[in-house]
Amino acid sequence: MRILIAGCGYVGTALAARLAAESHEVWALRRSPGPLPAGVDAVCADLADPSSLAGLPEELDFVFYTAAAGGYEEPRYRSAYVEGPRNLLNALAHQRQELKRVFFTSSTGVYAQQDGEWIDENSPAEQTHFSGSALLEGERVFQTGPWPATIVRLGGIYGPGRTQQLENVRNRVAVCPAEATYVNLIYRDDCAGILHHLMKMDAPGDLYLGVDCEPAERGAMLRWMADLLGVPPPPTASEEAEGRSARGNKRCSNAKIRGAGYTFAFPTYREGYTEVFAPRSISSEFSQEPQ
């Protein structure tokens, strides 16, 4: 298969390594060159600049859009999740590409639920923040495009090199919520694994939640991390000081992707953060020199 990964960053690079290992022809689209897995070719282009997208690889089978905003500001979100998708799909259509399917990595941040509700693919996504609104608009760009599209709404992504939660506990700046508050996480390798699995399906659905098997109660997770690190548990915030999280408080179900046959390598934060704390290998799959 001939596959383009647009906005090939943290998740996209892990996906590229998997695909190249299966001898697919893989291109990684980035604004600037950098290290890539062996067997992956670089495409230097800017998704925000339509003129830079004129020379995309021909005769592609699949396209993955895995770009990140790079900051929590509305212009960044619109550029990454609305304008970028439009520019890319327009460029692919201009080339008369005959794609089997396109994939867009969105976020569970499109859900604004605040009371610990269980969420699945049928739950309403009604946003009041610019971030969720931009993501939903980007989803519609793909859903109304000329090729079959699958949206994967990912939870909070962590993995190699993303150790901020552990460092906050280690440095005694983490605070446990006064009441049960849930976060929905997914290890980087399972993000890539889900996308890879969906690509191999004959007829994947149009929407999946990409979260691990256990919504993490934040206080319990932080205390578990303290035990892992051998440091005192974080203090608990007072109800007055805590307030309500602008990012929501919900429990996301991964039943649909598990029902589609995907098995998680890191089913909960315990397996994932244990791997982050003491990795068995240090990103050895991403060993190719910068191009």
Q: Where are the domains of the chain?
A: 2-277
Residue 126 has a pLDDT of 80
Residue 32 has a pLDDT of 87
Q: Please state, as a whole number, how many other Cβ atoms lie within 10 Å of the Cβ of residue 161.
A: 11
Q: Spell out where 46-146 has E strands.
A: 62-65, 101-107, 117-119
Residue 26 has a pLDDT of 98
Write out the CATH class of domain 2-277: alpha beta
Q: What are the CA-CA distances from residue 139 to residues 4, 56, 153 (Å)? A: 18, 22, 10
**Sequence-distant (≥ 6) Cβ neighbours of residue 209 within 8 angstroms:** 108, 119, 120, 121, 152, 153, 155, 252, 253, 254, 256, 257
What are the pLDDT tens digits along the chain (291 aa)? 999 999 999 999 999 999 999 999 999 999 988 889 999 999 999 999 999 999 999 999 999 999 999 899 999 999 999 999 999 999 999 999 999 999 999 999 999 888 999 999 999 998 778 999 999 999 999 999 999 999 999 999 999 999 999 999 999 999 999 999 999 999 999 999 999 999 999 999 999 999 999 999 999 999 999 999 999 999 999 754 554 444 569 999 999 999 999 999 999 999 999 999 986 543 444 544 332
Residue 278 has a pLDDT of 82
Residue 283 has a pLDDT of 42
DSSP-assigned letter for residue 236? B
* Cβ–Cβ under 8 Å, residues 119 and 113: yes
